[in-house]
A and B are shown apart, each in its own frame.
Chain A
Amino acid sequence: MEFLIDAFKNAFFLIVSLDKELLEIITLSLKVSLTALFFASLFGIPFGAFLGLKNFLGKTVILILLNTGMGLPPVVVGLFLYMLFSRSGPLGFLQLLYTPTAMIIAQFILAFPIVTALTQSAIVKVDPIIKLTARTLGATPFQVALTVIKEARYGIVAGVIAGLGRVMAEVGAILIVGGNIAGYTRVITTTIALETDKGNFELALALGIILLIISFIINISFYIIQKRGIPPNIAWL
């Protein structure tokens, strides 16, 4: 019992004293995850919008693949990238293994299906009357598409936040491709895994608390955005 209390005390001390190692780890975590999320959104939102707006042969297959991708086990992504990036792998010459770039790529792969699929679903939920109204007010096909995307904005942002939630909490993929190198590729989740293993609970606990706070903030934002995204009912229809 005393051991637990001591661990918490020391963890809090680390947080309040803004411990340098702690800050470094948190900063790298945010950098990796937010960069991955940025690229996942950059490609995922337009692709999801395209899937939501256009019908074409093979679209169902893509949607099924994306939905599978949403539940992709991070360790499998890590394994797959490890094989690609390892010295004897086809992309070994890029020397990306155990770098933050490899971690960003791993998290990109995890976030992309979520952002894309949730964007697509937000777009198809937009009432068809919006598209028609835009057209009858003189919008070009491109302007019509932008209008529908804008109408789906809360759902899309909710998708981006869901993507962030997934990558921030993930450990399997980045542990494999990042290697948890101190001062270089150590992030919140990988440090927790390693330090717990070593019996060094203070740092692990401090990071755990930070991760919980971040996850709490992510979930509150998700909730608020989702709620705002439900348009007020048109009472007379």
Chain B
Amino acid sequence: MALELLVSNIWKIYDNKPVLKDLSFVFNKKKVYAIMGPNGSGKTTLLKICALLEKPDRGEILYLDSQKRPLKKDINLFRKITYVFPQVGIFNASVFDNVAYGLNIRGFKKKEIISKVEDVLDFVGLSHKKRQNALTLSSGEAKRMGIARAIVIDPEIIFLDEPTAFVDAENVKIIEKILLQLKDKGQSTIIIATHDASFAEKVGDVILRLEEGRFLL
């Protein structure tokens, strides 16, 4: 079942300054969309509005199911989308427990949780860190953990806000590899906000430039 994200005529104004100006777009493919733009151009604002973490001042966000019916913005929809923050958002717990979080709250069986979490930790190269407190990870490891924690719940749409911020060149390469593999699997729509042009070009299928509150296509 494909989930379609319809962004229609979104406005967001901070201090009388429009950050998003009548922005419209449809995210409807299991592809990687890279939203590019300098700092302060409104990428995070847009991503948060799309992920239903914030409300637009005008315009509407719609999620449509495969029959193009709009979905109610309830917990069932929230559980189909996820967001990875630039600073990840790390629980004071082990790497394993951090990654298991989404499965635990969905009531998965213990055995299933263990196998899913171990698979995904293997996928992002963090198996050897699973017992470590996640707060002590390096930035690159923490970012990978954030991605693992997002994909383990099989979301329809993943929002990644600055996945390469704070990260060294070596880890950027690892993250690129992870995203390219994810793209090949084609299970999720991945929407990335980044100011890193070379990264965007490497992983993005569709590159969207955010300027003056709109996409330059």
Given contacts A137-B153, A138-B105, A151-B92, contact A234 B78 (CB under 8 A): no
Interface pair A133/B135, CB less than 8 Å apart: no
Q: Which of B90, B105, B136 contacts A143 (CB 8 A)?
A: B105
Interface pair B89/A151, CB less than 8 Å apart: no
Interface pair B53/A137, CB less than 8 Å apart: no
Interface pair B138/A231, CB less than 8 Å apart: no
Known contacts A140-B75, A236-B138; 16 further A-B pairs (Cβ under 8 A): A130-B89, A132-B53, A133-B88, A135-B78, A136-B51, A136-B84, A136-B89, A137-B101, A137-B105, A138-B75, A143-B105, A151-B92, A232-B135, A234-B142, A235-B138, A236-B142
Size of interface on B: residues with Cβ below 8 Å to A: 30
In the complex formed, the residue of A with least CB distance to B146 is A133
- A130 and B150 CA atoms in complex are apart in Å by 15
Interface residues of B (CB under 8 A from A): 51, 53, 75, 78-79, 81-85, 87-92, 101-102, 105-106, 133, 135-136, 138-139, 142, 149-150, 153, 166
**Complex interface: chain B residues within 8 A of A137 (CB):** 82, 101-102, 105, 149-150, 153
Interface pair B135/A139, CB less than 8 Å apart: no
Interface pair A236/B133, CB less than 8 Å apart: no
The 8 closest A-B pairs by CB, nearest first: A133-B89, A236-B139, A138-B79, A136-B83, A137-B102, A129-B89, A232-B135, A231-B92
In the complex formed, the residue of B with least CB distance to A232 is B135
**Complex interface: chain A residues within 8 A of B153 (CB):** 137-138
- A45 and B136 CA atoms in complex are apart in Å by 29
